Chains A and B, each alone.
Chain A
Amino acid sequence: MFNFDAEASHEHIIVNQVPKLAYSEKKDFDAWRKELREKFVELLGINKIRENDCPLNVIVEYREKKEGYELIRLVVETEKDVFIPCYLLIPDGNKEKYPLAITLQGHKHGGMYNSIGIVKDDDDREYQPRGSFALQAVKEGFAALCVEMRGMGELESVSESRNKGFCCRFASVMAISLGRSIIGERVWDVSKAIDAMEKFPQVDLSTIVITGNSGGGTASFYAGAYDERITLTAPSCAFCSYSASILHWYHCFCNVIPEAPRYFDMGDLAGLIAPRKLTIIAGALDGTFPYQGVLDNYPIVERIYERVGAKGNAELVTTPKDHWWCEDIVWPSIQRGLKK
Chain B
Amino acid sequence: MEINIDKYHDLILSRQKRKVEYSADKDFNQWKIDLKDAFNLVLKIDDIKSHLNGNRYIFEYEQEFENFTLIRFIVETEIDSFIPCHLLIPKQQKEKYPLAITLQGHDNDHIYSAKGDMIKPEEYSYSPYGELALACVERGYAALCVEMRGMGELHRPSRRGRAKVRCGFASFQSMLLGRCLSGERVWDVSKVIDVMDRFPQVDLDNIIAIGHSSGAGNIAYYLGAFDERIKLTVSSSGFCNYKDSIFDSWQCLCNYIPDVVNWFEMDDLVGLIADRKLLIVTSSEDERLPVESVKKSFTKIEEIFAKNNNASACKLIVNDGERKLNVDSIFAGIEELNKK
Residues of A within 8 A of B (CB): 1-2, 4-14, 48, 52, 59, 61, 75, 79, 81-83, 85, 150-151, 154-159, 161-166, 169-171, 173-174, 176-179, 242, 246-253, 256-262, 287
The answer to whether A177 and B261 touch across the interface, beta carbons within 8 angstroms, is yes
- Report, nearest first, the 9 A-B pairs whose CB atoms are least far apart: A250-B161, A259-B178, A9-B81, A161-B249, A4-B82, A179-B259, A8-B80, A6-B156, A164-B250
Q: In the complex, which residue of chain B has the Cβ closest to the Cβ of A250?
A: B161
The answer, yes or no, to whether B176 is at the interface (CB within 8 Å) is yes
Q: How far, in whole Å, are A253 and B169 apart by their CA atoms in the complex?
A: 9
Q: How far, in whole Å, are A150 and B168 apart by their CA atoms in the complex?
A: 21
Residues in A neighbouring B158, C-beta threshold 8 A: 249-250
Residues in A neighbouring B15, C-beta threshold 8 A: 52
Q: In the complex, which residue of chain B has the Cβ closest to the Cβ of A81?
A: B11
Q: In the complex, which residue of chain A has the Cβ closest to the Cβ of B178?
A: A259
Q: How far, in whole Å, are A170 and B13 apart by their CA atoms in the complex?
A: 14
The answer to whether A165 and B250 touch across the interface, beta carbons within 8 angstroms, is yes
How many chain-B residues does the 8 Å CB contact rule pick out? 61
Nearest CB of A to B4, in Å: 6
Dominant secondary structure at the B interface: mixed
The answer to whether A159 and B6 touch across the interface, beta carbons within 8 angstroms, is yes
Q: How far, in whole Å, are A260 and B287 apart by their CA atoms in the complex?
A: 35
The answer, yes or no, to whether B170 is at the interface (CB within 8 Å) is yes
List 18 extra interface pairs beyond A6-B149, A155-B3, A169-B250, CB under 8 A.
A1-B60, A2-B60, A5-B80, A7-B156, A10-B174, A48-B262, A79-B8, A79-B12, A156-B5, A173-B253, A177-B256, A178-B262, A179-B258, A250-B161, A250-B162, A250-B172, A253-B253, A259-B178
The answer to whether A6 and B178 touch across the interface, beta carbons within 8 angstroms, is no
- B149-196 interface (Cβ within 8 A of A): 149-150, 153-156, 158-163, 168-170, 172-178
Residues in B neighbouring A173, C-beta threshold 8 A: 246, 250, 253, 256
Q: A247-B173, A261-B176 are in contact. Are A162 and B248 (CB under 8 A)?
A: yes
- B194-249 interface (Cβ within 8 A of A): 242, 246-249
Q: How far, in whole Å, are A252 and B160 apart by their CA atoms in the complex?
A: 12
Q: How far, in whole Å, are A8 and B170 apart by their CA atoms in the complex?
A: 11
The answer to whether B162 and A82 touch across the interface, beta carbons within 8 angstroms, is no
Cβ proximity bits B278-295 to A, threshold 8 Å, 1 near / 0 not: 000000000100000000
Q: How far, in whole Å, are A155 and B2 apart by their CA atoms in the complex?
A: 11
The answer to whether B51 and A82 touch across the interface, beta carbons within 8 angstroms, is no
The answer to whether A256 and B5 touch across the interface, beta carbons within 8 angstroms, is no
29 contacts between A and B (CB under 8 A): A2-B74, A6-B156, A8-B81, A9-B78, A48-B262, A82-B8, A155-B3, A159-B248, A161-B248, A161-B250, A162-B6, A162-B248, A173-B256, A174-B9, A174-B13, A174-B247, A176-B175, A176-B256, A177-B247, A179-B259, A246-B176, A250-B158, A250-B163, A250-B172, A253-B253, A256-B172, A258-B178, A259-B176, A287-B160
The answer to whether B177 and A10 touch across the interface, beta carbons within 8 angstroms, is yes
Residues in B neighbouring A157, C-beta threshold 8 A: 5-6
- B1-25 interface (Cβ within 8 A of A): 1, 3-9, 11-13, 15-16
Q: How far, in whole Å, are A166 and B51 apart by their CA atoms in the complex?
A: 34
Residues in A neighbouring B7, C-beta threshold 8 A: 81
The answer to whether A250 and B168 touch across the interface, beta carbons within 8 angstroms, is yes
Q: How far, in whole Å, are A162 and B248 apart by their CA atoms in the complex?
A: 7
Q: In the complex, which residue of chain B has the Cβ closest to the Cβ of A169?
A: B250
The contact of A177 among B58, B80, B257, by CB within 8 Å, is B257
Cβ proximity bits B61-99 to A, threshold 8 Å, 1 near / 0 not: 100000000000010001111101000000000000000
Q: How far, in whole Å, are A154 and B1 apart by their CA atoms in the complex?
A: 12
Q: How far, in whole Å, are A154 and B82 apart by their CA atoms in the complex?
A: 44
Cβ proximity bits B123-164 to A, threshold 8 Å, 1 near / 0 not: 000000000000000000000000001100111101111110
Q: In the complex, which residue of chain B has the Cβ closest to the Cβ of A175?
A: B9
The answer to whether B58 and A2 touch across the interface, beta carbons within 8 angstroms, is yes
Q: How far, in whole Å, are A7 and B15 apart by their CA atoms in the complex?
A: 38
Residues in A neighbouring B177, C-beta threshold 8 A: 10, 13-14, 259, 261-262
The answer to whether B250 and A163 touch across the interface, beta carbons within 8 angstroms, is yes
Nearest CB of A to B187, in Å: 11
The contact of B170 among A7, A156, A248, by CB within 8 Å, is A7
Residues in A neighbouring B178, C-beta threshold 8 A: 258-259, 262
The contact of B258 among A6, A177, A250, by CB within 8 Å, is A177
Q: A8-B82, A173-B253 are in contact. Are A260 and B1 (CB under 8 A)?
A: no
Residues in A neighbouring B257, C-beta threshold 8 A: 177
Q: How far, in whole Å, are A251 and B150 apart by their CA atoms in the complex?
A: 16
Residues in A neighbouring B242, C-beta threshold 8 A: 177
The answer, yes or no, to whether B330 is at the interface (CB within 8 Å) is no
Q: In the complex, which residue of chain A has the Cβ closest to the Cβ of B4?
A: A158
Residues in A neighbouring B58, C-beta threshold 8 A: 2
Q: In the complex, which residue of chain A has the Cβ closest to the Cβ of B160?
A: A249
Q: In the complex, which residue of chain A has the Cβ closest to the Cβ of B17?
A: A51
Which of A165, A166, A259 gathers most chain B CB within 10 Å? A259
Residues in A neighbouring B175, C-beta threshold 8 A: 176, 256, 258
Nearest CB of A to B7, in Å: 8
The answer, yes or no, to whether B260 is at the interface (CB within 8 Å) is yes
The answer to whether A151 and B3 touch across the interface, beta carbons within 8 angstroms, is no
Q: How far, in whole Å, are A162 and B4 apart by their CA atoms in the complex?
A: 12
The answer to whether A6 and B176 touch across the interface, beta carbons within 8 angstroms, is no
Q: How far, in whole Å, are A180 and B173 apart by their CA atoms in the complex?
A: 17
Residues in B neighbouring A253, C-beta threshold 8 A: 172, 253
Which of B51, B175, B258 gathers most chain A CB within 10 Å? B258
The answer to whether B5 and A6 touch across the interface, beta carbons within 8 angstroms, is no
Q: How far, in whole Å, are A161 and B217 apart by their CA atoms in the complex?
A: 21
Q: How far, in whole Å, are A188 and B8 apart by their CA atoms in the complex?
A: 15
The contact of B176 among A52, A83, A159, A260, by CB within 8 Å, is A260
The answer to whether A158 and B5 touch across the interface, beta carbons within 8 angstroms, is yes
